[in-house]
Amino acid sequence: METVEIVLLTRQWFDRDDGVRLTFWGASADGPVKVVFHRQEAVMFVDRNLTLERGRRQPVELQSLQGRPVDAVYFATQRELIAERQRLRERVLRTQEGDVKPHDRFLMERFVTGSLAVRGEVRQRDGYRELVDPRVKACTFDTPLSVLSLDIETDGYDGPLLSIAVAGAGGERVWMVGTGPAVAGLGYVADERALLEAFLEHVRRADPDVLTGWNVVDFDLLTLQRLAERERIPFALGRGGERAKVLPPRSDQQPYVVRVGGRVVLDGIATLKAATWSFESFSLEHVGQKLLGRGKRIAHDGDPVAEIRRLYREDKPALAAYNLEDCRLVLDIVEAADLLGFAVQRQALTGLPLDRQGGSVAAFDNLYLPRLHRRGYVAPDVGDARGGERSPGGYVMDSVPGLYENVVVLDFKSLYPSIIRTFAVDPLGLATAGADPIPGFAGGAFAREGHILPGLIQHLWEARDEAKRSRDEARSRAIKILMNSFYGVLGTPGCRFFSPLLASSITLRGHEIITESRAFIEARGYAVIYGDTDSLFVHVGGSDADASAATGRTLAADLNDHWRTTLRERHRIESALEVEYERNFVRFLMPTMRHSTKGSKKRYAGLVRTGGGEKLVVKGLEAARTDWTSLARRFQRELLDRVFHDQPWRDWLRELAAEVRAGHHDDELVYRKRLRRALADYQANVPPHVQAARKLGRPTKEIRYVITGHGPEPVDLPHGALDHEHYLQKQLAPAADAILPFLGTTFETLAGTQMSLFG
């Protein structure tokens, strides 16, 4: 008997003749471990007075959130559970937690999230150790995970496979179909079948914990699976010879999903997005340049397909170097952005699989359900919770447009989580409010004691503060994303606890806090010129930036005192609200809505002075939007910089407009747009980027195009002269006119088409 600690890698359930089988793979300090549980039962709950046709029924000391006693019902297979649940639903009868997957329930009931300790007889297998039906308990354990990056090259988007490159675990290697000059690390094979077999053998020998790549599931692994099917080769990419499976999405808006027993597949793009990284483009070239200062070996602004074909014909070693560099780029991006650390920390916090993208609802279930059971309650199935109208969103205050000096920003730290903590907003607390509840909104009220969610958030809050102190950015980021997801989870019908009473008691309380805070500040003689969900923009004025910042800190401290006193007196609760002085804008622009005198929302710009210099902050304006040309973005930022520093800008603007008309900035007049649907799906009112994509003549997920005298045309093909007046009117003019009206003029007045016609 041994005790082995592992970090969870993959989890699966299977229906077998003798019951449900659960399989967990993990990484230990001494290599991979497989943990198998036989003859498990699937379980759901039903009201005690409900008549069943199948299942082994057992009374339990649990009740529904409506206070009705329930029984547990056990089934030999998950398939039998699903059939009985469906039979009841057809009769408009409800089950409780009948949609929780067996492996998720097994882990959550033991409070296992990211790692576990298993004790039992350890058997040595080929390349791994195995434990069957061991004892299990949660633990805190971490171990380095080995990573292999892969990338394939094909002859066109749907053509045959040319080469496969790998880097990381097992070393660097490229295999290529055909013959060519001998180069270290490059092996030639006879055909695609041999290419796939060489790759699978390398993965078996390198035995990585993690596979990664760029769009690795939707393209690389999907292409390799199709090749394996065509060649009738087992796609044995998993540990222990387990076959990998790429599953198609359920809708156009969802990604492909891959199952590889014993190995995690982390797609670079999807994991960056899950970790809230933001880039103008998620192409490997662009992200590599931004994070690493280097990009791909083939120029990204040409025709990469044509260049790959040329290299394959004329210079196979150069193609191999290009293929391998893509693998290296992904590995270095994963390290630079700490994507593996983020995935490990998120799993440890939420119980979500390492490769799960999204999953806020599942994370909430993993954390909330076992704690709910310990309080003696079970939860409804998804879709059976109390419905009603959606709750309103965050409060966005009407702005007061203008150019300002010294505007301070006061921010409520994690406002929605702090509201949940302060006002005990909680599904169980809503169901058991009692005689002396804390009032909510829309008719909701919450128990003062016995709740779950406020304590969960407090624990996460303290953990994030500790992560910040220890500079653990991956853990801090994962906790922030998790805490901020709780409001959204409670406000979506996809959550089993969905209720407008819960969500409204968060958002409407936020409205109350922001509006009352505004009144508090204005009573002290300061104008609040804008407010957005959890922030207030206060015009302090004057010319002394240090004095303005000091005023901001004083206002934040006074607001915290106000809420502590007010909530204690008004509701007999302790405030967890925390107002922070965030920054002081020495110059600030709040624009109007386009073609209106009304102040805009979520659009502003300001200049912040720091110890190391200055920073221009732009939100929502053209300079911050990736669907605008690089010239428009650069132009607006420079115009803002000149205006904020009281530098001459009129002659500069006119000169730039003249240069645009002369074609001096054509390389900065390229539009970039993603295609979110198939080209054939666009029928009426076809937008410009789709028109350009159709002219390109090959599949693409992102189109780069220009506007010419012949309309939109892709930049990757020869095209006509640019329509410079289009860019002046549709790009520079809107960017300028967010600012110029406050200076008594417009772009048209200074450099518009009328001047070019008659000037």
pLDDT tens across 630-646, in order? 999 999 999 999 999 99
What 8-state DSSP symbol labels residue 133?
Answer: S
State the pLDDT at residue 757: 44
User: Quick check: 758 pLDDT over 60?
Assistant: no
Backbone angles phi, psi at 263, to 5 degrees: -130, 140
Can you tell me the distance from the alpha carbon of 479 to that of 486, in angstroms, rounded to the nearest whole number? 11
Considering only residues 655 and 717, tell me which one the structure prediction assigns the higher pLDDT: 655
Residue 267: its H or E element: strand 264-267
Residue with tokens 């993959």: 10
State the pLDDT at residue 127: 93
Percent of the chain scored above 70 by pLDDT? 97
Backbone angles phi, psi at 117, to 5 degrees: -110, 130
In the structure encoding, which two tokens stand for residue 238, read together? 């998993």
Residue with tokens 């292999």: 148
Using an 8 Å Cβ cutoff, are 646 and 679 in contact? no
State the pLDDT at residue 252: 67
pLDDT in tens, 319-375: 999 999 999 999 999 999 999 999 999 999 999 999 988 889 999 999 999 999 999
pLDDT in tens, 214-245: 999 999 999 999 999 999 999 999 999 999 99
Residue 55, classed as helix, strand or coil, is coil
pLDDT in tens, 587-642: 999 999 887 888 889 999 999 988 778 999 999 999 999 889 999 999 999 999 99
In the structure encoding, which two tokens stand for residue 209, read together? 């914990």
Cβ neighbour number for residue 127 with a 10 Å cutoff? 14
State the pLDDT at residue 681: 82
Cα four-point dihedral sign 680, 682, 683, 687: negative
Residue 546: its H or E element: helix 545-571
Rounded to 5, what percent of the chain is helix, strand, coil? 40, 25, 35
Instruction: Indicate the pLDDT class of residue 759, thresholds 50, 70 and 90.
Output: very low
Domain 625-758 has CATH 1.10.357.10: no
State the pLDDT at residue 422: 97
CATH number for the 147-336 domain, one of 3.30.420.10, 3.30.1360.200, 3.40.190.10, 3.60.20.10? 3.30.420.10
What is the topology classification, in CATH, of domain 385-604? Palm domain of DNA polymerase (3.90.1600)
In the structure encoding, which two tokens stand for residue 37, read together? 């549980």
State the pLDDT at residue 385: 65
In the structure encoding, which two tokens stand for residue 265, read together? 């597949």
Instruction: Indicate the pLDDT class of residue 299, thresholds 50, 70 and 90.
Output: low
User: Quick check: 258 pLDDT over 90?
Assistant: yes
Can you tell me the distance from the alpha carbon of 24 to that of 22, in angstroms, rounded to the nearest whole number? 7
Can you tell me the distance from the alpha carbon of 546 to that of 444, in angstroms, rounded to the nearest whole number? 44
pLDDT in tens, 34-78: 999 999 999 999 999 999 999 999 999 999 999 999 999 999 999
pLDDT in tens, 182-191: 999 999 999 9
Which residues fall within 8 angstroms of residue 557, CB to CB, at 6 or more apart?
Answer: none
Cβ neighbour number for residue 168 with a 10 Å cutoff? 21
Q: Across the chain, what does the average pLDDT equal?
A: 93
Instruction: Indicate the pLDDT class of residue 557, thresholds 50, 70 and 90.
Output: very high
Can you tell me the distance from the alpha carbon of 309 to that of 306, in angstroms, rounded to the nearest whole number? 5
Q: How far is CA 34 from the centre of its chain?
A: 30
pLDDT in tens, 455-480: 999 999 999 999 999 999 999 999 99
User: Quick check: 176 pLDDT over 50?
Assistant: yes
Mean pLDDT confidence for 690-716: 89
Q: What is the largest CA-CA distance in the chain?
A: 93
pLDDT in tens, 111-154: 999 999 999 999 999 999 999 999 999 999 999 999 999 999 99
Which residues fall within 8 angstroms of residue 322, CB to CB, at 6 or more apart?
Answer: 153, 296, 297, 298, 308, 311
Using an 8 Å Cβ cutoff, are 175 and 195 in contact? yes
In the structure encoding, which two tokens stand for residue 433, read together? 């409010």
Instruction: Indicate the pLDDT class of residue 756, thresholds 50, 70 and 90.
Output: very low
State the pLDDT at residue 755: 46
Residue 364: its H or E element: helix 360-374
Supply the pTM of this predicted model: 0.90
State the pLDDT at residue 348: 94
Q: Where are the domains of the chain?
A: 2-138, 147-336, 385-604, 625-758
Look at strands 445-446 and 438-439 and give their pairing.
Answer: antiparallel
Helices 415-423 + 500-522 axis angle, to 10: 110
pLDDT in tens, 8-44: 999 999 999 889 999 999 999 999 999 999 999 999 9
Q: CATH number of the domain at 2-138, please?
A: 2.40.50.590
Residue 527: its H or E element: strand 527-532
